[in-house]
Amino acid sequence: MARKIYFLVLLISLMTYINAQTYHDSPSDFFFSKKVDAQPLMMSPGFISSGMDESGGSLGKNGDEFFFALKKQGAFSLILVTRFTDGFWTYPEVAPFSGHYFDASPFLSPGGDYLYFASNRPEHPEDGIPNWNIWRSKRGPSGNWSKPELTGFSNANGNETSVSVDKEGNVYFCADYESGTITLEKDHLDIYYVPVSDDGKWGEVVKFGMQINSEAVEQTPAISPDGRCLVFSSSRSGGEGTADLYVSYKENEEWTPCQNLESPVNSPAYEYCPVFSADGKLLLFTSNREVKMPSGINYSRLKKWVLGPGNGAGDIWYVKASSVQNER
């Protein structure tokens, strides 16, 4: 009996060692298939994409930390984080700076020094009507994040709801600046950017022209790390679904007229919140597309389908970024 227990413990230890080593050199392989191409794959069903409405995932430059948002309309919107520690990915937990206000669209800068996100938290306790702005935290020497600070370009009279940053530090975001109200007006969202100077200071906020913006909603921009490819969501007519992903390229310092990414990236559902990985190799995005209802329906299968990923709530999907960038 003792010998059987010894071999069982040895087997468990060996399996633990093997599993720990499997992703040690490339932790993100746990989430992303190396075989992905132009056909979108759902990210980590049951672990990240759970059926609870996840969006806006951002992977760190070393592939060992992942931030994403989880929301329930009108109840909460918060930021979760999972990290690769001691050979395993930790169970997602609410980020230390989140959970008290509505937070969304986390984005790790390509260099990994800053974490940007959108939040309706007040800058000062005495502030009146809350509006959405861009905040950021700085990573300290020990890896901990500083207390979030309001970015200098944020407008107290408008709402910014999503953010992306290239490797030079130029910031791209969507805002309802032309709505005329302080409360968020999603129907007035357009895409803007803020150039950064050599000394690290932000310049003036610039609204994109008609190559990007239209009379419809433009939102959730994603800039590639090299600053040459912009992907965003729009509800303009002529698309595949309620909102589609579009792409524009920077050529000779000018942005090309945007193109619909079409199927299979877009679907009859709602696509938004694209995000490039820090190495520029993957494009993540959020979609509320449904997976096919299983055949041979019984209660167990029906419950799993209704409550699980692919049930029509937001899930995180991904494609090979080069398949998008080759659309030109």
Q: Is 8 exposed, middle or buried (0-12, 13-18, 19+ CB in 10 A)?
A: exposed
Range with top average pLDDT, 21-30, 152-161, 165-174: 165-174
Predicted local confidence at residue 199, as pLDDT: 85
pLDDT tens, 205-218? 999 999 999 999 99
Predicted local confidence at residue 328, as pLDDT: 52
Predicted local confidence at residue 3, as pLDDT: 55
Which residues form the domain of 53? 31-325
Residues 162-184: what's their mean pLDDT?
A: 93
Is the residue at 8 inside a domain? no
Predicted local confidence at residue 25, as pLDDT: 82
Number of domains in the chain: 1
> Measured between alpha carbons, how far is 206 from 212 in angstroms, rounded to an integer?
12
Predicted local confidence at residue 311, as pLDDT: 94
Q: Judge contact between 188 and 175, C-beta under 8 A.
A: no
Predicted local confidence at residue 198, as pLDDT: 84
- Classify residue 216 by its DSSP letter: S
How would you label 17-42 residue by residue, b for 16+ Cβ within 10 Å and e otherwise?
eeeeeebeeebbebbbeeebeeebbb
Residues 240-261: what's their mean pLDDT?
A: 96
What is the value of pTM for the model shown? 0.90
pLDDT tens, 6-59? 445 444 444 444 444 467 788 999 999 999 999 999 999 999 999 999 999 999
Name residue, tokens 């709602």.
Answer: 270
Is the residue at 9 inside a domain? no
Q: In this structure, what CATH number is given to the domain that contains residue 276?
A: 2.120.10.30
Residues 270-297: what's their mean pLDDT?
A: 93
Q: Judge contact between 192 and 174, C-beta under 8 A.
A: yes
Predicted local confidence at residue 22, as pLDDT: 65
Is the residue at 163 inside a domain? yes
Rg (CA), the chain: 21
Q: Please, where are the H alpha helices in 118-269?
A: none
pLDDT tens, 111-139? 999 999 999 999 887 777 789 999 999 99
- Classify residue 247 by its DSSP letter: E
Helix, strand, coil in percent for the chain, rounding step 5: 15, 35, 50
Cα-flanking dihedrals φ and ψ of residue 222, to 5°?
-130, 120
Q: Looking at this protein, which amino acid is placed at residue 87? A: G
pLDDT tens, 66-96? 999 999 988 999 999 999 999 999 999 999 9
Predicted local confidence at residue 327, as pLDDT: 52
Predicted local confidence at residue 302, as pLDDT: 87
Is the residue at 16 inside a domain? no
CA dihedral sign, ordered 16, 19, 25, 26: negative
Residue (of 217, 231, 233) closest to 178 by Cα position: 217
Predicted local confidence at residue 24, as pLDDT: 78
- Whether the predicted pLDDT of 242 surpasses 90: yes
Would you state the structure tokens that stand for residue 79, as one six-digit string?
A: 């930021």
- Classify residue 139 by its DSSP letter: B
List all residues 6 or more positions away from 165 whose beta carbon is below 8 Å from its beta carbon: 107, 109, 110, 114, 116, 171, 172, 223
Would you state the structure tokens that stand for residue 84, as one six-digit string?
A: 């690769």
Residues 275-281: what's their mean pLDDT?
A: 95
